[in-house]
Amino acid sequence: MEGFLRFLVAKAILLALASSFVSCYDPSPLQDFCVAVDDASGVFVNGKFCKDPKYVKAEDFFTSGLNIAGNTINRVGSNVTNVNVDKIPGLNTLGVSLVRIDFAPGGQNPPHTHPRATEILVVVEGTLLVGFVTSNQDNNRLFSKVLYPGDVFVFPIGMIHFQVNVGRTNAVAFAGLGSQNPGTITIADAVFGSKPSIMPEILAKAFQLDVNVVKYLEARFSSNYDRHY
């Protein structure tokens, strides 16, 4: 009888361990959503299909052109060059990516958030004022700093953050992100430029603005506004 009890306890421990392993292996989403299908037409598994390893070559892990400045002639005066899994297929499932950000004097990378990645940024040229805002539970505190060449700053996953060129010259920064496909939600684009538009009365109350101001913003952001990443 004692042996049987011991067997039951051991079985319970194994079951508990097994279920914790299952939750450990539940992958973070690598796309904005993944609508389940129960037939063979489902195509996206963990971001992308995998290439047969015997056909993999060095070029699958390579890209170039990060020495070239992006075009900052746009409404916000900045440009983001993405190096993610769409540029380097070999990044699939590896959990990292890279960006180059160019800023005209006075230009900014407007408030945005990456739903799937922490960002670590290094300034290589110019002067940037950067910052992020913590969650509601943390009272929406702003952590902000002026950065010079060689300075590094971290934007934790999910936090709304921004960078502004406060110098007299162009500025350049590179940033690593903890996802092969970090995603970007630019706050103004998402809120005022959604398609279709969110009802102006809703945003007027949410942002405590006159409804005509909201209509103006929605017209501006839903027109051929140069989208930002």
Residues that bind Mn ion (CB under 5 A): 119
Looking only at the bridges linking them, the beta strands covering 160-165 and 152-155 are unpaired
Q: How far lies 39's CA from each of 42, 45, 50, in Å?
A: 7, 14, 20
Q: CB-wise, 105 or 156, nearer to Mn ion? A: 156
* CB nearer Mn ion, residue 102 or residue 119: 119
Annotate 12-56 with three-state secondary structure. HHHHHHHHHHHHHCCCCCCCCCCCCCCCCCCCCCCCCCCCCHHHC
CB-based closest residue to Mn ion: 119
Of the pair 111, 216, the CB lying nearest Mn ion is at 111
Q: At closest approach, how far in Å is the CB of 119 from Mn ion?
A: 5
Q: How far is the CB of 177 from Mn ion (least distance, A)?
A: 7
For residue 57, the minimal CB distance to Mn ion (Å) is: 31
Contacts of 98 (CB under 8 A, 6+ apart): 66, 83, 84, 174, 175, 176, 177
Cis peptide upstream of residue 110 (ω within 30 degrees of 0) = no
DSSP assignment letter at 126: S
Token duo for residue 12: 């319970």
Q: Is 228 annotated as a binding residue?
A: no
Token code pair at residue 157 = 């996953």
Answer yes or no: are the C-beta atoms of 114 and 160 closer than 8 Å: no
CB of 87 to Mn ion, least distance (A): 17
Instruction: Compare residues 160 and 203 and give the one whose CB is closer to Mn ion.
Output: 160
Residue type, 59: E
What is the total residue count of the chain?
A: 229
For helices 200-207 and 211-222, give the axis angle rounded to 10 degrees.
Answer: 110
Residue whose CB is less far from Mn ion, 129 or 198: 129
| Least distance between Mn ion and beta carbon 195 (Å) | 23
Q: Which is nearer to Mn ion, 182 or 200 (CB)?
A: 182
State in angstroms the smallest separation of the CB of 118 from Mn ion: 10
Q: Residues annotated in the binding site, as ranges?
A: 112, 114, 119, 161
Q: Residues annotated in the binding site for Mn(2+), as ranges?
A: 112, 114, 119, 161
